[in-house]
Structure 1
Amino acid sequence: MSVLFRNCLIAGVSAVICAGAATTASAQSLSLRLSSENPPGGNTVHILNRFAEHLEESLGDDVEIEIFDSGVLGNEEVHLQQIRTGQIDVHSTGSDAIQLDPKWAIFDMPFLFANRDVVAEILDGEIGEEMAASMREAAGIEVLGYGEIGFRQMTNNIRPINVPEDMDGMRIRIPGSETRALMLETFGAVPVDINFGELYLALQQNTVDGQENPLISIDAGSFQEVQEYLSITNHVYTPITLTMNGETYDNLTDEQRTAVEEAARAAVEWTRQNGADADDRLITAFEEEMEINQADIPAFREASQPVYDSVAELAGADFVERLLAAVEAAGE
């Protein structure tokens, strides 16, 4: 921990004032606090580590970086507040980004993306740029890039999930997203909002029957230890929205901004490749710990229309229409 930040804590001065002191301490030096509520092993922490490594390579002694993980600074909701106020400078957020900007509801549209190539074309193109501009306007946060949490799968302790009817009455943990809740309700499940850091215990104690996450996040949380069934659904794709506090970004020098953007791009690409590699590796590894089945995707897709309608209301009908057209064009 930097001397300046530690002394601010001891003195009881707010982190916002400390951040301002750190910015003015040296016009050319850069001090950043990076944080994720998730444990090491998941891409939301990996992306921060890769970002920091590349930034340090570019700026050398002119940058000082602190990285926090495992909820040391608070849960998901606390992090969303901290990135807005500048108590942290960089945050890697997943599904909870919808609480910052309703356009992120699009990532709860079931079976929107056929594969990672389509995802990359959409997020690295005009749609991704429009979303970044919207996030800055809605929450005062700069989007540095879109990494990967991944395609989400279902696990539970009751039965294999083949069709929506198999989920009837299942208590499934979700992150803080009303459209994710709607999706599960549409499939007959009972969504339960629980922070990621509390999920292992909730599964172990049968507070919930199951959860939905990408394979890499299931592994990072060790949920395979407390779940019997894994159903491959690929129902939604969740990006990592790598964000920086808007004031911090605006105060960067030209050299620092170039270094930050290059570091973000490298970190984004690393997580995308790591997510793809992890899917291939973990399917085999999980066969020894859970019963695995491939869900009936057409049956789930047929049941998903109410979710599309609700997302259009939240994210904007015109925006969703343009998104769907772009997805269709990307898949050609």
Structure 2
Amino acid sequence: MEIAHNILAGQHLTAEEAYELYQDNNIDTMDLVYEAYQLRQHFYGKKVKLNMILNAKSGICPEDCGYCGQSRDMKQKQRYALVSQEEIERGAEAANNHQIGTYCIVMSGRGPSNKEVDHIAHTVESIKEKHPQLKICACLGLANEEQAERLKAAGVDRYNHNLNTSEHYHSEVVSTHTYEQRVQTVELMKKNQISPCSGVICGMGESHQDRIDMAFALKQIDADSIPINFLHPIKGTKFGEMDELTPLKCLRILAMFRLINPTKEIRIAGGREVNLKSLQPTALLVANSIFVGDYLITGGQPNQLDFDMIQDMGFEVDYDTNIPTTS
């Protein structure tokens, strides 16, 4: 195969070509990983970007997302309103001390109130005064124009709003908001010069075609950062008994997202520990970004294991979280 060679020469995979590659069992997964690695190496070298999440508001959500332990249908222990400015700033201090490049402030719920946006904005302004190099990503749900402008003015660098699944499969995942609303939120942030972060959750029963459609949808909206979550089933949710991923399936998914979005930050996100298992280090041959520490309501592995993994693979932490220019 010369997929990477052809892409670097200016060609692009079509949706049909990508689907054929992905579903062809005669093509070894590690061959696809090698092709993806060539692109990862070309655009990002040996660098690995680090991200850390703060669950700034937990539960208290009217949405019925089938994967989420914070949905309206779950009786969740971790339920609390938006935390104080001091607590968010302590998280930023921890991120800085642990060499994290991007600090992600996440809120549960359909979308933020103006009061909540003001709270986040004041806090971000304070964080930026102390740690101007720390990139701030806000993940607050569906937002409006005024809120986007306020976040931009405060210094928010990136906004995360995942597509989560394909347009075709969306109704199987959630009924309380539309796929179009998710796309509109990403486009709104782009309009306000906030870097768009948008990704997916794989392993919820979607088809091979759905996964390829997800990757091309993110290519179309031009997401700068693409977090790829692998379902960590939570008992009591719609997908709580789902278990269809293997480490090799996860690697194949990652490889295809890199081949379809060669220049983008591909991030291994939630569920990597329970789904990739011993192949986590191999995934860094494709992805150039990871979350460090815990996720929203599920735990991650100890930070030191992530630093050891990066070092053992011959990679190094990237402290410059700017999006690279393509060559």
TM-score range, shorter chain: under 0.3
More helix by share: 1
**TM-score, structure 2 as length reference:** 0.26
In terms of Rg, which structure is larger? 1
